[in-house]
Amino acid sequence: MPAGESSVWRENLSRNLQANVWPSDFEPIVTKLSNGEQLSRSDGHFLFNSKDLDTIGRIANIVKFARFDNSAFFNVNVHINQTNICTLACRFCAFRRGRRAKDAYAMDIDEYVEDLRNYANHVDEVHSVGGLHPEWDIEHYSALFSRVKDEFPDIHIKALTAVEIKHISKLSGITIRNTLKKLRDSGLGSLPGGGAEILDDDVRAIICKGKESSSEYLEIHQTAHELGIPTNCTMLFGTVETIDQRITHLLKLRDLQDKTEGFQCFVPYPFLPDDSRLPEAQLASGTEILRMIAISRLMLDNIPHIKAYRMNIGDEIAELALQFGADDIDGTVQKESIMHLAGSNAPLDHDKEMLAKIVINSGSKPVQRNTTYTSFEEYILPKAPARRQLRMAAGE
Ligand code: SF4
């Protein structure tokens, strides 16, 4: 479970780091972490360039342990992507459709609610992101969220990325602040972090022209934090960005978090190339994903949770990532289109037991959490009658 106050986990961290012997070239970084100092841009470059991934992973895991001991978190949620119709055409996106495409869809409020009803008795979160529908303004989303809260008051609504908030605000002719206020008052509980991509406008001009700028992404999240709406933040890596631009991204998020403390979780995920229009993307290997997760843990000392988003990286890498500084594997999900159209084959039929097994295989203790990380319950695997019967039959 969380180690609570910053001073408590930082003391744990200092003690645990000093109990180990580290390669000499890692000493400056270990000293900074032990002293509670933030790592610099040049520390970031050192970590990205080092050949010693094992040491990077070990340090990241010690930081994770200082905060959460050997707990790793998951939640029980469903993803509903409300529409794939989008007025933009980001080059990495395999999900969006033009309005007249044969497989374009837009779930009206009744359809959305009926879909959610299929899951409502066993989820505590609905996660909804989608395209920028040309007509869905603040009235549509306020009515949707109010209806969901009327019908399912215990389900937390985590919905709408920064660019969707910007689109709704523009379409409705109201400010970002008033858009967020109205959505919050209609039942929106938190924002997912999607759409950050790389917070560098040169990269954005290539991969997602027309989307919100880097500063707009940060301003929208800052405004949400000021209104008491917690948010997550993400990074899409492995397209056309440089290592320096990745570090810039981490530093921008860390600077905002120093001001607001509103980010709950950072979710770094690699670009998946199927059906995209980005042939020049560099793509990311398995070890690069693990390195990115470990470096996120080390650079983002002020964002508590680092997620290994199994919908994107798959169960096997997610399991390994829990040994490289990640502490969360997201949720049951059950329905997901955005990553699967881009090439993910992560299973969508995982129940709590399957998620717990991923956590246990990584050497951690599975803990079910709510969306806002304010309620925790250790998950104990049920006894396996089939296995027990087999053993009995074998005379064990
Ligand atoms: S990433 Fe989002 S904004 Fe960009 S094209 Fe896809 S659905 Fe539209």
Q: What is the pLDDT of residues 154-171, one digit of tens each?
A: 999 999 999 999 999 999
Give the number of other CB atoms < 10 A from CB of residue 221: 26
Q: What is the pLDDT of residue 328?
A: 97
Is residue 93 in contact with ligand 1, taking CB distance under 6 Å? yes
Cα(first)–Cα(last) distance of the chain, in Å? 36
CA distance 53 to 51: 6
Rg value, the chain, Cα: 21
Q: What is the pLDDT of residue 350?
A: 82
CA distance 389 to 267: 41
What does the pLDDT look like over 186-244, one tens digit per residue? 999 999 999 999 999 999 999 999 999 999 999 999 999 999 999 999 999 999 999 99
CA 238–ligand 1 middle distance (angstroms): 17
What does the pLDDT look like over 24-48, one tens digit per residue? 999 999 999 999 999 999 999 999 9
Alpha helices in the chain (DSSP H): 6-18, 27-34, 41-49, 53-68, 109-117, 138-151, 162-172, 176-186, 201-207, 214-226, 243-260, 286-299, 310-321, 338-341, 352-361, 385-393
Q: What is the pLDDT of residue 333?
A: 85
Q: How confident is the model at residue 395 (pLDDT cuts 50, 70, 90)?
A: low
Q: What is the pLDDT of residue 1?
A: 59
Is residue 90 in contact with ligand 1, taking CB distance under 6 Å? yes
CA 276–ligand 1 middle distance (angstroms): 11
CA 81–ligand 1 middle distance (angstroms): 12
CA 93–ligand 1 middle distance (angstroms): 6
Q: Whose CA is nearest to atom 4 of ligand 1?
A: 90
Q: For 110, phi and psi rounded to 5 degrees?
A: -60, -45
Is residue 356's pLDDT more than 80?
yes
Is residue 89 in contact with ligand 1, taking CB distance under 6 Å? yes
Domains and CATH numbers, the chain: 6-68 (no CATH), 73-378 (3.20.20.70)
CA 132–ligand 1 middle distance (angstroms): 7
Q: What is the mean pLDDT of the chain?
A: 94
Q: What is the pLDDT of residue 96?
A: 95
What does the pLDDT look like over 324-344, one tens digit per residue? 999 999 988 888 777 778 878
**Contact 142/172 with Cβ under 8 angstroms?**
no
Rounded alpha-carbon distances, angstroms, from residue 280 to 70, 273, 285: 39, 10, 15
Nearest residue to 309 (alpha-carbon basis) of 288, 340, 330: 330
Supply the pTM of this predicted model: 0.94
CA distance 178 to 169: 8
Q: What is the pLDDT of residue 391?
A: 55
DSSP per position, 310-379: HHHHHHHHHHHHTTTT--EEEE------HHHHTT----S---HHHHHHHHHHTT-EEEEE-TTS--EEEP
CA 295–ligand 1 middle distance (angstroms): 27
What does the pLDDT look like over 89-141, one tens digit per residue? 999 999 999 999 999 999 999 999 999 999 999 999 999 999 999 999 999 99
CA distance 363 to 365: 7
Is residue 309's pLDDT more than 90?
yes
CA 112–ligand 1 middle distance (angstroms): 20
Residue of 160, 171, 211 to test ligand 1 pocket, by largest number of atoms within 8 Å of CB: 211
Residues near 120 by Cβ (< 8 Å), separated by ≥ 6? 151, 152, 155
**Contact 59/26 with Cβ under 8 angstroms?**
yes
CA distance 7 to 19: 18
Residue of 86, 239, 271, 312 to test ligand 1 pocket, by largest number of atoms within 8 Å of CB: 86
Residue of 84, 88, 239 to test ligand 1 pocket, by largest number of atoms within 8 Å of CB: 88
What does the pLDDT look like over 133-158, one tens digit per residue? 999 999 999 999 999 999 999 999 99
| SS3 annotation, 50-65 | CCCHHHHHHHHHHHHH
Top pLDDT among 264 and 273 is at: 264
Is residue 318 in contact with ligand 1, taking CB distance under 6 Å? no
Q: What is the pLDDT of residue 334?
A: 83
What does the pLDDT look like over 58-85, one tens digit per residue? 999 999 999 999 999 999 999 999 999 9
CA 90–ligand 1 middle distance (angstroms): 5
Q: What is the pLDDT of residue 382?
A: 86
Question: SS3 for 209?
Answer: coil
Is residue 123 in contact with ligand 1, taking CB distance under 6 Å? no
Residue 203 buriedness (CB in 10 A; 0-12 / 13-18 / 19+): buried
- Read off the amino acid at residue 182: K
Is residue 338 in contact with ligand 1, taking CB distance under 6 Å? no
